[in-house]
Amino acid sequence: MVSKRLSRLEGHRRKFMAVIDGTPECQRAVHYAGRRAKNSNGGLVLLFVIPEGDFQQWLGVEEIMRAEAREEAEAATAKAAQIVRENIGIDPEVVIREGSAAEQINAVIEEDRDIALLVLAAGSAKEGPGPLVSSIAGRAAAFPIPVTVLPDTLTNEEIDALS
């Protein structure tokens, strides 16, 4: 069970969270979440999760790999944040974690009690809509707050009209 959300209390504001994962569809999720945040005077949290288990090497190599993964995460989130600033006009919060995506999403939601909505976008690849969207559909990783899943066919203009 999730902690009580604080976003409606005085001194708090509702935040929307989007996951940055390098997929083309994550940009649609960021765009929608950013528009919803701006239109509701809320906030936007961009989360990047560095997958666990990628650093099982000798200590020196492990440290280099971890640093490179962190640099890639910082670059991806900085790019997404800049697009949000330029196109939507809000300044998002950036969170970078290491571990299982579902576990880290849940941890960030638990820690920031202003986060009220998780926004994901379905992919159009033949493998399926993407691992996070699939995990929700399969109920393997249900999240403790509402989740909005954008269809893969929406353009930014259509997203603007919906948000």
For residue 95, give the CATH number of its domain.
Answer: 3.40.50.620
Return the percentage of the chain with pLDDT > 70, whole number: 82
In angstroms, the Cα distances linking 162 to 5, 93, 117, 153 are 24, 23, 16, 13
Residue 19 corresponds to which amino acid? V
Residue 19 DSSP symbol: E
Q: What is the mean pLDDT of residues 29-47?
A: 96
Q: Is 86 among the domain residues?
A: yes
Determine, yes or no, domain membership for 4: no
Q: What is the structure's pLDDT at 84?
A: 96
- Please calculate the CA angle 133-136-138 and round it to the nearest 5 degrees: 110
The reply to whether 151 falls in a domain is: yes
Upper half-sphere CA count for residue 91 (Cβ side, 13 Å): 0
**7 in any annotated domain:** no
Secondary structure of residue 73 in the 3-state scheme: helix
- Give me the count of residues in the chain: 163
Q: What is the dihedral of CA 20, 26, 29, 30, to 10 degrees?
A: 50
Put the strands of the sheet holding 43-51 in their side by side order: 93-99, 43-51, 15-20, 115-121, 147-150
Q: What is the pLDDT of residues 47-73, one digit of tens each?
A: 999 987 655 666 677 778 888 989 999
Q: How confident is the model at residue 163 (pLDDT cuts 50, 70, 90)?
A: confident
Number of domains in the chain: 1
Give a yes or no: residue 6 inside a domain.
Answer: no
Residue 8 forms part of a structural domain? no
Assigned domain for 122 exists: yes
**What domain range includes position 20?**
15-162
Residue 83 lies in a domain: yes
Nearest residue to 150 (alpha-carbon basis) of 113, 114, 124, 122: 122
Q: Considering the entire predicted model, what is its pTM?
A: 0.85
Write the pLDDT tens digit of every residue in 23-34.
888 999 999 999
What are phi and psi for residue 160, nearest 5 degrees?
-60, -40
Question: Tokens for 6?
Answer: 């604080």
